[in-house]
Structure formats: C-alpha cells, structure tokens
Structure 1
Amino acid sequence: MKKTIINSKFTGQQKLMLTVFMIIAFLIGLPTLIYLFIEMPGQPNYVNSFSDYFFSSLFFVSIFLFMLLFSKQGIITDNGNLKYSLFIFGIPFLSKKINLENITDITILTYRASQKLAWVSVANPDLSVSTEISKVVLLNSNHSYKDIILITRRRDYAEKIIKSLNEELNLEYNIYSPPVISRRRR
C-alpha cells in the first residue's frame, strides 16, 4: 500500500471558520459534558433535558472539526486499486474507491478561477482573488471518458500525484484531446 499525501483540502478562509466553530463548540460542549457526569452534593436530583445532551454533543463535534482542520487529501494505491482519501495525521480517514476499468491515461486540466472573500467583498464588492486550479483526471484510451480524482491549487502537487500513479498503476501521462464529433447539418 502506497500513500501519496499532498495538501489540505481547505483554503485559509475555510480553516479560519472551522477553527472558530471548533472553539465555540468546545467551550459550550465540554462544561456541559462535565456537568452531565458530575453530581453536585446537596443539590436535588436533576433530570437531564434534551438541551443538555445536545450541548454536550457539541464536544464531540469539536473533536470532529479538529480532525477536519488537520486533514489532508491524497491517494492510496494498493494491489492495482486506487482510492481517494482524506488523511488525519497520515492515517486514512475517509476513502473512496475509484473505478479503473478501461482507464489508460492520466492528465492535468488547469482552470482559472476567482474567489471573493466574505469580509473583503463587503467593503469592495468587485474585489476578488484570481487563482489557478489543477484537476488530476483519469481518461480512457480515446479520451471520451474522464473522471476527476483530485483538485488542488498547486500544479506541483498534481504532478506528484501523476508521478505516483505512473509508477504504481502504469497510467500514461497524455495531453487531454477529446474526440471530435461531427454534427449533421440541417
């Protein structure tokens, strides 16, 4: 089993939002969870309500958000099988098997994109940040079928994935050239 781990799936803005939600969930969930399991001496027996259980579950939500915050994306190749996976501290967390039937080629498709940041666009609605997105795509022999397996903002990460798939699964790197379909004139 060979793992190729590249980068986080989240942007800086998304990581900031995850951090804020994680801290809020932790600060609400931990005291409520402690309160559920500690009986106060001299206090009457208290029947826990639904809201107590709900707020205590926020502690477990904060743990999940912590794991997502430090997750990275990558691929796993094992005995001719390919899986896309999220890794937490190098351990596969969520995996999705990718069908390699009739797949012979691999390529990188590059797109230009722009992103508006929420707190900046309020002051200047026309301000956006331009980026380049690289998609690692599996292709069949005549390039009529394509399957996107990974999206990253850095081309060197996409090239690292391509090199790994070329070594492990013998997929050939080609430039994407879809078949031309002749249309009937009316």
Structure 2
Amino acid sequence: MDRIILEHRFNTHQKLVILLGVGFPLIITFITLCSLIPLMHFVIFLFLLINLLLYGILVAIAFLKRGFYKKNAKLYKASFFYTKLIFKSKIRLVNRPKLAILKFKKAQKYAWFNVANPDMTSSFNAFEINILSENHTQRDCILILKNEDHANNAVEFLSSNFPLKLEMFNPDFSKGTP
C-alpha cells in the first residue's frame, strides 16, 4: 500500500464557510449574468465559465481528505480528492527514528452563532502524530487528526513502511540535544 487516506481536511462548519461564505458571491454573479443571456456576448460568457470553474475548485478544496503517501521510500503528507492525489509535501525523516501520538483537548468557535451565543464552541480531542529524535528532545508534528482510530491506522502505516518505532513521548534532557 503506497497511501493511506485518513479523514476530511475540513469539518462541516469550515466547509459551509468555504462554500457559502466564499462561494456565495460567485453564485450571485453567476445568477445575475445568466439573466442577461439574451444580451450576453463572448466576454460575459467567458466570465461565467471562469466563475463556475472557481466555484468547482472551491468545492474540490472543501472536500479534500488528508493522509500519507509513499513514493520511492520517501514520505509525503498528502491531500486527496476521493482517491486522487492533489497535493503532497515531503516529510524529512532524518534523525527522527521514533513516532508518538500526543492527545490534546482543542476547541473551535463557530462563525455564525456568535450573535446568539458569543462563546459557542465545539470541543474535541486532537491526536497529533509526531516524529521524534532518539531521546525525544526534538519533535516535529506531521499530522493532527480528530479520530484516535485514524491516528492508530496512520502510525501502523508509518511503522510498517518506514523505519519508525512507536513510543510513549518521554523526553530525556539529561543526555543533551544531539
């Protein structure tokens, strides 16, 4: 297996902000210009097509999933649209032979509910996958997930495809930083 697709990049609230907050002006422009079809000429038609293309790109971005991708023994953090690879960024594993999952409590405020309830937030657990130095004094976060099972599946993928070992995070500063 050369890839693992884990979870959506954006939650439902963020998708609504992308699709309605950013896409709404594009939709209004499209509807307005469509009412001018009898008067339309090539420039307006081209503008309509560009708006439609931009909205399609926004929809694709809103429904991206994140995961990991392996190619030629190199590890990449990747974004997928369904199963198609869209973006990837290389993760450097030099001097990072260990893995750890750190659990954090996080919260996100909602954009449209602050008039009725200014402190309306959604709390969730975040599972941060980190690569560590030998004595755990240096760590790099490679992905943050909201589901513990997805984090465990990611660690299983990483440890089976790369020379990484899962350990409990326990930094030992007495040995010094390499």
Structure-1-length-normalised TM-score = 0.79
User: Identity, % of aligned pairs?
Assistant: 25
Aligned to 2:83: 90
How many pairs does the alignment contain? 173
Give the Cα separation in 1 of the matches to 2:62 and 2:119.
30
Q: CA deviation at 1:118?
A: 2.1
Aligned to 2:93: 100
Contact kept, 8 Å, 2:109 with 2:120, in 1: the verdict is: yes
Contact kept, 8 Å, 2:6 with 2:66, in 1: the verdict is: yes
Closer, same or farther: CA 29–181 of 1 in aligned 2, 3 Å: farther
Contact kept, 8 Å, 2:2 with 2:70, in 1: the verdict is: yes
Contact kept, 8 Å, 1:106 with 1:162, in 2: the verdict is: yes
CA-to-aligned-CA distance 1:122-150 (integer Å, 9 cap, x gap) = 21223322211111111111112211111
Structure-2-length-normalised TM-score = 0.82
Give the Cα separation in 2 of the matches to 1:57 and 1:130.
38
Give the Cα separation in 2 of the matches to 1:125 and 1:153.
24
Contact kept, 8 Å, 1:104 with 1:171, in 2: the verdict is: yes
Q: CA deviation at 1:3?
A: 0.6
Q: CA deviation at 1:63?
A: 1.5
Give the Cα separation in 2 of the matches to 1:107 and 1:164.
13
Q: Which moved more, 1:173-182 or 1:126-135?
A: 173-182
Aligned to 1:74: 67
Contact kept, 8 Å, 1:29 with 1:57, in 2: the verdict is: no
Larger gyration radius, structure 1 or structure 2: 1
Contact kept, 8 Å, 1:32 with 1:56, in 2: the verdict is: no
1:28 and 2:21 correspond: no
Q: CA deviation at 1:58?
A: 2.3
Give the Cα separation in 2 of the matches to 1:115 and 1:181.
37
1:172 and 2:165 correspond: yes
Aligned to 1:7: 7
